[in-house]
C-alpha cells in the first residue's frame, strides 16, 4: 500500500478514535496501569491539561517532524533526561496503551490498522528516544 493510502487509512482511524469521548480516558486507564513508574509520573497531574497535550503530541508524532521539525525538536528536548526525563522504555508502554485504546473504541480497528498505527507513530517515537541523552 502506498504511503498516501496508508496515511489516509491511519487518519481515518485516528479521527474515529479522537471523536470518541472515551478514547483518551481509555488510553490513560491502560497507560497508568501499565507500570508503577508511569502511574507515579502522573500522580499530581491535571488530567484535563494532560489530555489536551496528548492530542497535540499525537498529531506531531503521526507526522514525525514533517510539519515543523523545530517544534518537534523542542518537544523532544522537553521530554529528554534533563527535563521531564521520559525514559526510552516508557515509549513502548505509551504506544501499546494507545493501540489498546484505539482497539477499544474504533470498531474498524484490526491487525492491519494496528500495524499502520505502529508504522506511522514509530518514527516519531524513535526521534524522541534519540533525543533523550542530548544535552
Question: The domain that contains 121 carries what CATH number?
Answer: 1.10.490.10
pLDDT score of 66? 62
pLDDT score of 51? 92
What domain range is 25 assigned to? Answer: 3-130
pLDDT score of 53? 87
Written as nine digits, the cell of 99 is 493501540
Structural element, H or E, at residue 17: helix 3-18
10 belongs to a structural domain? yes
Torsion of CA 67, 90, 88, 43, to 10 degrees: 90
Number of domains in the chain: 1
pLDDT score of 87? 96
Share above pLDDT 70 across residues of the chain, in percent, rounded to a whole number: 95
Measure the CA–CA gap between 56 and 47, rounded to whole angstroms.
14
Written as nine digits, the cell of 61 is 508524532
pLDDT score of 48? 92
Tally of CB atoms within 10 A around 27: 23
Residue ranges in the chain modelled with pLDDT below 50:
65
pLDDT score of 70? 81
135 belongs to a structural domain? no
Amino acid at each position: 500500500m502506498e504511503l498516501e493510502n496508508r496515511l489516509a487509512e491511519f487518519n481515518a482511524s485516528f479521527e474515529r478514535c479522537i471523536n470518541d469521548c472515551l478514547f483518551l480516558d481509555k488510553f490513560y486507564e491502560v497507560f497508568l496501569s501499565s507500570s508503577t513508574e508511569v502511574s507515579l509520573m502522573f500522580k499530581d497531574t491535571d488530567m484535563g491539561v494532560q489530555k489536551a497535550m496528548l492530542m497535540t503530541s499525537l498529531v506531531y508524532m503521526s507526522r514525525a517532524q514533517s510539519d515543523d521539525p523545530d517544534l518537534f525538536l523542542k518537544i523532544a528536548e522537553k521530554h529528554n533526561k534533563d527535563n521531564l526525563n521520559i525514559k526510552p522504555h516508557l515509549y513502548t508502554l505509551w504506544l501499546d496503551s494507545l493501540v489498546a485504546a484505539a482497539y477499544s473504541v474504533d470498531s474498524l480497528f484490526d491487525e492491519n490498522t494496528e500495524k499502520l498505527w505502529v508504522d506511522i507513530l514509530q518514527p516519531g517515537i524513535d526521534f524522541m528516544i534519540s533525543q533523550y541523552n542530548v544535552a
